[in-house]
Amino acid sequence: MPRVILMEYVNLGRSGLSVSRLCLGTMNFGPITAEEDAFPIMDRAHELGINFFDTADTYGWHAGWGLTEEIVGRWFAQGGGRRDKTVIATKLYASQTDWPNDGRLSALHIRRACDASLRRLQTDHIDIYQAHHVDRDTPFEEFWEAMEVLRQQGKILYVGSSNFAGWHIAKAQETAKRRGTFGLVSEQSHYNLVYRAVELEVLPACQDYGLGVIPWSPLAGGLLGGILRKIDKGRTADERVTKELAKHRDKIERYEAFCDELGQDPALVALAWLLKQPGVTGPIIGPRTLDQLDGTAKALEVDLDDKALAGLDEIFPGHRTAPEDYAW
């Protein structure tokens, strides 16, 4: 068995909920990783001390809507304390059909989507129920009333957001404050060395309102995972990654050379950098195999000093909190 990695834990935002600094993303379970391979990955995550799992009702995609939640649910059903040891986060928003109210964040859809996720996950409650996207057509008063009902019923414990702008977070939190409720506890955002736009307003809003930040796509879709080395060894990239690489090739070349100087794997450096960013709870890792899980977990052992962090900022310049980034 691979050596044990000492997991770190932090409170999720201003809450008292303790979660691991790496979050196991399950999006590959079903479409890419077969169920019989996903089970050992989740078991190994627990062995590594990872107690924070993320999924969504949409995951499964072409293989079947909700399939990923079903796989996680069947894993929970094996017992052995699997559910009790897991902080499970799932998401709602997208529509499976064109039928009215089958999607978005109306009170009706929130109720139906939660019940459906509970059935698929084979659990009586969801620890963190997240809006996968902001719904510009539903007022936050309705959103919060629906979430409060679910919490009173014991079906959810905390509420999170994903892909919200800074002003959406502010509006959500101020509405919750007027209602006397806890509000959002976390925000899932697209955040990595290549894409740092959330530093302008989303991260400051999260820090001010006490939301934990959970970065998704921490390796920028593979750009930060040693892609040039893999291509040199004969690996091929899909069309999307190829286009992104063309836009950022100079920076990626410098990045991989910098990682060589550090003596570290590029993927681990990218994850370790996120773990150093203020307000970040932990990035979502999405392993397809056990080896990938064991490999990415080693990011906790990579200690980037101030010189290394400055070098990464030089390659991938970040943003100052608005408005200083675009004004005096």
| Kind of pairing between the strands at 184-190 and 156-162 | parallel
Task: Name the E strands within the chain.
Answer: 9-11, 18-20, 23-25, 52-54, 87-92, 126-131, 156-162, 184-190, 212-216, 284-285
Strands 18-20, 212-216: pairing kind: unpaired
- Cis-peptide, bond into residue 323, ω within 30° of zero: yes
Q: Is 59 a catalytic residue?
A: yes
- Single out the catalytic residue among 9, 59, 158, 191: 59
**Residue 281 near residue 13, CB atoms below 8 Å:** yes
**DSSP class of 305:** -
Question: Per-residue DSSP letters for 117-167?
Answer: HHHHHT-S-EEEEEESS--TTS-HHHHHHHHHHHHHTTSEEEEEEES--HH
Residue whose C-alpha is closest to residue 188's, from 172, 164, 209:
164
d(Cα 253, Cα 182) in Å, to the nearest integer? Answer: 45
315: number of Cβ within 10 Å: 16
Task: Decide if 226 contacts 265 (C-beta within 8 A).
Answer: yes
Tokens 């963190």, residue located: 128
Beta partners for residue 11, in sequence order: 18
- For the beta sheet containing 87-92, the strands, ordered from the edge strand earlier in sequence to the opposite edge, are 212-216, 184-190, 156-162, 126-131, 87-92, 52-54, 23-25, 284-285
- Apex CA 6: angle with CA 297 and CA 28, to 5°? 25
Q: Which residues are catalytic?
A: 59
